[in-house]
A and B are shown apart, each in its own frame.
Chain A
């Protein structure tokens, strides 16, 4: 199984500042034939279902604010929130869908400092 490890487990950032969450996979999720990284990011606000933010490692889902961006390739990935807003308080998960099981990271809890 591909193990997904996020860092840090929790993060406190001031409003308007940058937040960075890392995700590392135990093996590459890059498909050599189509050059796509099979990596998604989700946001789960308290009491809500998860919501897709980023797929193929860097493609922003329709309607997601452009302060959210994804980067990385192979085994190392990053979710960046360029200017933290109050509504961004949530737990963020990465997930690989390169192979089954489609494993999730343990989650990163983002709070306001």
Chain B
């Protein structure tokens, strides 16, 4: 069975940095695009970023929401079946549960067919 386990969330001050990790299992990780989606407390879902199945280190394509572009970086390590989200210059409005998500395809224009349990990021002084 597919499993996605996020870690790395926590409390960080405005302007700070954080790296989220997602350990994947139960499928051929390198074959699929992966995404991060966030949900602010009591709010709806917001797509954050997607990385294609080939991996950014080998020319994999990435896409970002405008709200995080230039501050967040999505990456993957196919040898470790791991997905990452490097978050810099964090703002209060970045406070949310961050979900690691598996796409149903290799390309970035695809639906999400599996979600992790999420990790909470709180940006506050």
Contacts of A97 in B (CB 8 A): 109-111
Given A100-B50, A102-B50, answer yes or no on A55-B44 (Cβ-Cβ < 8 Å). no
B115 near A95 (CB under 8 angstroms)? no
* CB nearest to B102 among chain A residues: A52
How does the 8 Å CB contact mask read for A75-99 relative to B, with 1 for contact and 0 for none?
0000000000000000101010111
User: In this assembly, does B99 line the interface, its C-beta being within 8 Å of a C-beta of chain A?
Assistant: yes
User: In this assembly, does A17 line the interface, its C-beta being within 8 Å of a C-beta of chain B?
Assistant: no
* CB nearest to A107 among chain B residues: B44
User: In this assembly, does A101 line the interface, its C-beta being within 8 Å of a C-beta of chain B?
Assistant: yes
Question: Once bound together, how far apart are the Cα atoms of A83 and B17, in whole Å?
Answer: 47
Q: Whole-angstrom distance from the CB of A77 to the nearest CB of chain B?
A: 13
Q: Which of A20-79 contact B (CB under 8 A)?
A: 38, 40, 42, 44, 49-52, 55-56, 61
Contacts of B63 in A (CB 8 A): 100-102
A93 near B47 (CB under 8 angstroms)? no
Q: Which of B37-96 contact A (CB under 8 A)?
A: 37, 44-47, 50, 63-66
Question: Once bound together, how far apart are the Cα atoms of A103 and B66, in whole Å?
Answer: 12
B109 near A98 (CB under 8 angstroms)? yes
Contacts of B115 in A (CB 8 A): 49-51
Contacts of B125 in A (CB 8 A): none
Of A38, A49, A61, the contact of B116 (CB 8 Å cutoff)? A49
Question: Once bound together, how far apart are the Cα atoms of A17 and B63, in whole Å?
Answer: 41
A52 near B113 (CB under 8 angstroms)? yes
B111 near A101 (CB under 8 angstroms)? no
User: In this assembly, does A7 line the interface, its C-beta being within 8 Å of a C-beta of chain B?
Assistant: no
Residues of B within 8 A of A (CB): 35, 37, 44-47, 50, 63-66, 99, 104, 108-118
Residues of A within 8 A of B (CB): 1, 38, 40, 42, 44, 49-52, 55-56, 61, 91, 93, 95, 97-107
18 contacts between A and B (CB under 8 A): A40-B111, A44-B45, A49-B99, A49-B115, A49-B117, A49-B118, A50-B45, A51-B115, A52-B112, A55-B111, A55-B113, A97-B109, A99-B109, A100-B63, A100-B108, A102-B63, A106-B44, A107-B45
